[in-house]
């Protein structure tokens, strides 16, 4: 009798689901994978249970776990570095022009980064009689191209680092990545050196380089405006953005640092995340200068 009584009490402790609850679970089961979860969240956003920004950030968190350093790094060819083997006066104008807060520092050898220079440390040059830029360098952090962004973000936070050099399988420098690059995959654009003033147009004319005209262009610029200002004809819906046009043309979202040609236009992606092109640099080149 005692054993039977114990079984009854144990059974009574289990939660009972109504027939309606069981039918609901059968018809509309809980999400079992990421895709199903995103469908649920998208539906919640459409019903105004969460806002679009919250949904975008959640999607960004998922994307970070799927991406690696090679996907968003600035390639070595596009890195802005300082060469401390040269007098400071020679490379200071480049520091001012690019307006970065941190720079990889090389010592004459472009293949080897010897430290990270914080732009704010250069203020001591104007305040101290004896100034040696080598004393200002911070240690270099190296990571493999395959390092997942979610792991990298955790390391950045734990070690209070903001920049890391990305190395390839042979140990050579492949590019550079910052904590800002990772966070932008989650929260979207963070103001940087490529941002436009609010009063600026979507298309900003740059100083010409050689024989070609150059522009810095927001990815959201409508195709109609793009065609009109550059004097070209990119086929498509004129209300479509140039960023969406490029994604459709390429069949994928280009990465930051990617370069490609369409007709006599040379495109360089200055900023992009996993879902959209944000800032472009476009150069109108003579046909004989285009890559085959």
3-state secondary structure of 34: helix
Both 134 and 220 in one domain: the answer is no
Query: What pLDDT is stored for residue 289 in this prediction?
Result: 41
Is pLDDT of 81 > 60? yes
Which of 187, 211, 246 lies at the terminal end of a domain, its last residue?
Answer: 187
Both 175 and 274 in one domain: the answer is no
In this prediction, residue 104 has a pLDDT band, given cuts at 50, 70 and 90, of: very high
Rounded to whole angstroms, the Cα distance separating 218 from 226 reads 10
238-247 residue pLDDT tens: 778 999 999 9
The enclosing domain of 99 has a CATH number of 3.10.580.10
Alpha helices in the chain (DSSP H): 2-12, 19-27, 34-46, 52-66, 69-72, 88-98, 124-127, 149-159, 179-187, 223-230, 242-250
Number of H helices, E strands in the chain: 11, 12
Query: What pLDDT is stored for residue 198 in this prediction?
Result: 45
Nearest to 63 by CA among 189, 186, 243: 186
In this prediction, residue 44 has a pLDDT band, given cuts at 50, 70 and 90, of: confident
What one-character-per-residue DSSP string does 117-152 give? EEGGGGGHHHH-SS--GGGGPBPP-EEETT-BHHHH
Is pLDDT of 199 > 60? no
Rounded to whole angstroms, the Cα distance separating 212 from 206 reads 11
Query: What pLDDT is stored for residue 84 in this prediction?
Result: 93
Nearest to 140 by CA among 161, 171, 160: 161
Both 51 and 84 in one domain: the answer is no
Both 61 and 75 in one domain: the answer is no
The domain in which residue 100 lies consists of 71-187
Residue 17 maps to a domain: no
The pairing of strands 265-272 and 259-262 is antiparallel
Query: What pLDDT is stored for residue 10 in this prediction?
Result: 43
* Entry pTM: 0.56
Both 160 and 141 in one domain: the answer is yes
Residue 5 maps to a domain: no
When computed from its CA atoms, the radius of gyration of the chain, rounded to whole angstroms, is 26
Mean pLDDT throughout 51-59?
Answer: 77
Mean pLDDT throughout 34-47?
Answer: 79
In this prediction, residue 43 has a pLDDT band, given cuts at 50, 70 and 90, of: confident
């Amino acid at each position: 009798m005692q054993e039977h009584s114990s079984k009854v009490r144990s059974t009574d402790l289990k939660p009972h689901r109504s027939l309606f609850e069981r039918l609901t679970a059968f018809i509309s089961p809980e999400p079992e994978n990421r895709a199903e979860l995103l469908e649920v969240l998208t539906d919640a956003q459409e019903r105004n249970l969460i806002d679009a920004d919250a949904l975008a950030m959640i999607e960004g968190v998922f994307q970070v776990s799927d991406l690696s350093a090679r996907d968003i790094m600035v390639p070595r060819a596009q890195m802005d570095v300082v060469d401390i083997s040269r007098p400071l006066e020679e490379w200071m104008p480049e520091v001012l022009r690019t307006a970065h807060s941190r720079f990889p520092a090389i010592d004459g050898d472009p293949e080897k980064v010897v430290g990270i220079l914080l732009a704010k440390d250069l203020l001591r040059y104007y305040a101290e009689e004896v100034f040696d830029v080598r004393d200002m360098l911070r240690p270099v952090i190296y990571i493999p191209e395959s390092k997942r962004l979610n792991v990298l973000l955790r390391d950045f936070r734990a070690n209070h680092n903001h920049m890391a050099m990305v190395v390839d399988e042979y140990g050579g420098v492949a590019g550079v990545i910052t904590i800002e690059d990772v966070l932008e995959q989650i929260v979207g654009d963070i103001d940087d050196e490529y941002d436009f003033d609010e009063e600026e147009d979507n298309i900003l004319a740059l100083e010409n380089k050689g024989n070609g005209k150059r522009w810095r262009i927001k990815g959201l610029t409508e195709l109609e405006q793009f065609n009109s200002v550059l004097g070209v004809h990119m086929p498509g819906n004129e209300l479509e953005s140039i960023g969406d046009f490029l994604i459709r043309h390429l069949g994928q979202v280009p990465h930051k640092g990617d370069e490609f040609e369409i007709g006599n236009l040379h495109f360089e992606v200055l900023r992009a995340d996993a879902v959209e092109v944000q800032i472009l640099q476009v150069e109108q080149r003579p046909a004989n200068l285009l890559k085959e």
